[in-house]
């Protein structure tokens, strides 16, 4: 069904708003490479050009090895959870973090490698998983009262009273 004449945002003299994630992605695509180049140049001035290149290559090789190992572990844990009939929420989050971390390790640079290793290493991944859970809960359940929403429990998930649901069993 077509809109009535004059009801589009352009006809009313306003431009439609761009999604916030699009603006953030655009800024990150501009800022991150500039920061990476500045970091590589700064490290090169301190330790030398060839040593910086060697360090980037060693980081990449170490990152590929860790991604392969942790990816296999995450895949195995996901398969085990699915076979046993458990809800694989933790395993899916781990797999997503390993995937994103591996992608960040593909980009040459020190800053993306730091974030990539933070997502992949087994002793820092629980922290990243918790941050991911909070971000997803805020984004998806932000307006709903309850465990993660803006109700009595707030974003911490701690309710002030008992969870009681009135009902009748037939």
pLDDT of residue 71: 92
Residue 96 belongs to what H/E stretch?
helix 89-106
Mean confidence (pLDDT) of the chain: 83
Among 62, 61, 130, 59, smallest CA distance to 94 is for 130
- Asked if residue 68 belongs to a domain, the reply is yes
Residue 101 belongs to some domain of the structure = yes
- Residue 170 in any domain: the answer is no
Are 134 and 127 within 8 A, CB to CB? no
Note whether residue 154 is domain-resident: no
Does residue 111 lie in a domain region? yes
What is the distance between the alpha carbons of residues 72 and 53, in angstroms, rounded to a whole number? 29
Q: What is the mean pLDDT of the segment spanning 124-148?
A: 79
- Domain around 82: 21-122
pTM value is 0.69
Residue 7 lies in a domain: no
The answer to whether residue 137 sits within a structural domain is no
Domain count of the chain? Answer: 1
Is 4 contained in some domain?
A: no
CA separation for the pair 113, 56 (Å, rounded): 9
Report the pLDDT averaged over residues 103-109: 90
129 with 120: CB under 8 angstroms? no
d(CA 146, CA 120): 31
Q: Which pLDDT does position 72 carry in this prediction?
A: 94
> pLDDT tens digit string along 86-101?
888 899 999 999 999 9
């Amino acid at each position: 069904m077509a809109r009535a004449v004059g009801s589009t945002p352009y006809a009313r003299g306003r431009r439609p708003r761009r999604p916030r994630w699009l603006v953030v992605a655009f800024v990150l695509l501009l800022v991150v490479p500039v920061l990476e180049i500045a970091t590589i140049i700064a490290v090169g001035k301190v330790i030398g050009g060839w040593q910086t290149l060697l360090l980037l290559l060693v980081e990449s090789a170490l990152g590929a090895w860790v991604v392969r190992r942790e990816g296999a572990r995450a895949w195995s844990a996901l398969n085990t959870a699915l076979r046993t009939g458990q809800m694989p929420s933790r395993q899916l989050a781990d797999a997503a973090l390993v995937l994103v971390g591996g992608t960040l390790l593909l980009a040459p640079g020190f800053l993306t490698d730091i974030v990539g290793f933070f997502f992949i290493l087994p002793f820092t991944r629980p922290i990243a998983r918790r941050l991911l859970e909070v971000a997803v809960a805020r984004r998806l359940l932000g307006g709903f009262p309850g465990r993660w929403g803006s109700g009595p429990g707030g974003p911490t998930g701690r309710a002030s009273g008992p969870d009681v649901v009135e009902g009748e069993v037939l």
